[in-house]
């Protein structure tokens, strides 16, 4: 089977197409033939070595497809099942071996492209909105990169919970897209400093929680957007990692809370994965979340997909088609 491998850390050019033997699934494993593969910023971190892993590696942590074979000791799956997964590296391939514990059955009404573009981002939105800071009706949130794959899902979901959703985006077109997908107000951060605008929109009070996957470029400004004892949720670092040499800044800016969550911990146990998946699929089927796939690339075009993602040229979810 064909796959995209990283043999040396670096830019998009290190993503190379290779031929690999797939083998048979072992104990507790499934063999899956992908129908679609999700592209996420964590794939960039794996490619560059920001999140180091042994080389060579096949990136990608999200996909959907058909079960081709079931290994010994697997219960609840059979050949022909339609499944999706997140959080298991090795997705950039026509077929893959996957721990059965990471797979979930997808509804009959859901196609592979939707599932592959929703699993990692949708489950991230789930733990951010329901577990990290449980969003309640009447609260106000700030969500950065509101027109991205995560942003469109999370902002729609947060609005369905009754929150007031303020977003940021980097162009007029992205502002319009975010406004059409859950945001009440959107700030174009390429034209204005977002923190004073957030303060103005909230009558000087600040927001209850900031969700920030951008990282270094937005971190300090985000702290200035929070109300006293508000929560800063830093869940990604697209513009570079964040460091806080002086924790006193949190007290000076209002006894703020700060967390850096990851799905690896929230979904370490299968019951949590199943609960999140059920909530995500229900939100999609109810119409609370309307999936948006902004870009499709062939698997062989993975490098171009990464260039578009890092160049902020994407909206919604980006997927690879084997």
User: Does pLDDT of 8 surpass 90?
Assistant: yes
Domain ranges across the chain: 2-119+267-321, 136-260
68 vs 23: CA distance, rounded Å: 12
What's the mean per-residue pLDDT of the chain?
95
Fold of 2-119+267-321: Quinone Oxidoreductase; Chain A, domain 1 (3.90.180)
Q: Are 89 and 117 in contact (CB under 8 A)?
A: no
Span 210-262, pLDDT tens digits: 999 998 889 999 999 999 999 999 998 878 888 888 999 999 999 999 999 99
Show the 3-state SS of the chain: CEEEEECCCCCHHHEEEEECCCCCCCCCEEEEEEEEEEECHHHHHHHHCCCCCCCCECCCCEEEEEEEEECCCCCCCCCCCEEEEECCCCCCECEEEEEHHHEEECCCCCCHHHHHHHHHHHHHHHHHHHHHCCCCCCCEEEECCCCEHHHHHHHHHHHHCCCEEEEEECCHHHHHHHHCCCCCEEEECCCCCHHHHHHHHCCCCCEEEEEECCCCCCHHHHHCCEEEEEEEEECCCCCCCCCCCCCHHHHHCCCCEEECCCHHHHCCCHHHHHHHHHHHHHHHHHCCCCCCEEEEEEHHHHHHHHHHHHCCCCCEEEEEEC
CATH 3.40.50.10490 fits 136-260, yes or no: no
Domains 2-119+267-321 and 136-260 fall in the same CATH topology: no
Span 158-199, pLDDT tens digits: 999 999 999 999 999 999 999 999 999 999 999 999 999 999
Mean pLDDT across 280-295: 94
Span 80-96, pLDDT tens digits: 999 999 999 999 999 99
């Amino acid at each position: 089977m064909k796959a995209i491998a990283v043999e040396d850390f670096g830019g998009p050019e290190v993503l190379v197409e290779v031929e690999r033997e797939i083998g048979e699934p072992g104990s507790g494993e499934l063999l899956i033939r992908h129908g679609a593969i999700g592209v996420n910023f964590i794939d960039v971190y794996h490619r560059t070595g920001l999140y180091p892993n042994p080389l060579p590696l096949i990136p990608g942590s999200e996909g959907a497809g058909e079960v081709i074979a079931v290994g010994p000791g697997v219960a609840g799956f059979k050949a022909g099942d339609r499944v999706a997964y997140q959080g298991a590296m090795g997705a950039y391939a026509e077929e893959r071996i996957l721990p059965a514990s990471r797979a979930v059955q997808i509804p009959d009404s859901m196609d592979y492209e939707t599932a592959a573009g929703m699993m990692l981002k949708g489950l991230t939105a789930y733990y951010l909105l329901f577990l990290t800071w449980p969003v309640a009706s009447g609260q106000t949130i700030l969500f950065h990169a509101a027109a991205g794959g995560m942003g469109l899902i999370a902002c729609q979901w947060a609005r369905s919970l009754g929150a007031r959703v303020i977003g940021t985006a980097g162009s007029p077109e992205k502002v319009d897209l975010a406004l059409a997908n859950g945001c009440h107000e959107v700030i174009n951060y390429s034209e204005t400093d977002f923190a004073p605008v957030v303060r103005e929109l909230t009558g000087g009070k600040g927001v209850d929680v900031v969700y920030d996957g951008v990282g270094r470029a937005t971190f300090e400004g985000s702290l200035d957007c929070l109300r006293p004892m508000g929560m800063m949720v830093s869940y990604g670092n697209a513009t570079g990692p964040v460091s806080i040499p002086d924790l006193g800044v949190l007290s000076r800016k209002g006894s703020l809370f700060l967390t850096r969550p990851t799905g690896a911990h929230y979904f370490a146990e299968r019951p949590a994965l199943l609960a999140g998946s059920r909530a995500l699929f229900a939100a999609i089927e109810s119409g609370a979340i309307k999936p948006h796939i902004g870009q499709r690339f062939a698997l062989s075009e993975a490098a171009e997909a990464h260039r578009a993602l890092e160049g902020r040229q994407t909206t919604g979810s980006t997927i690879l088609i084997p």
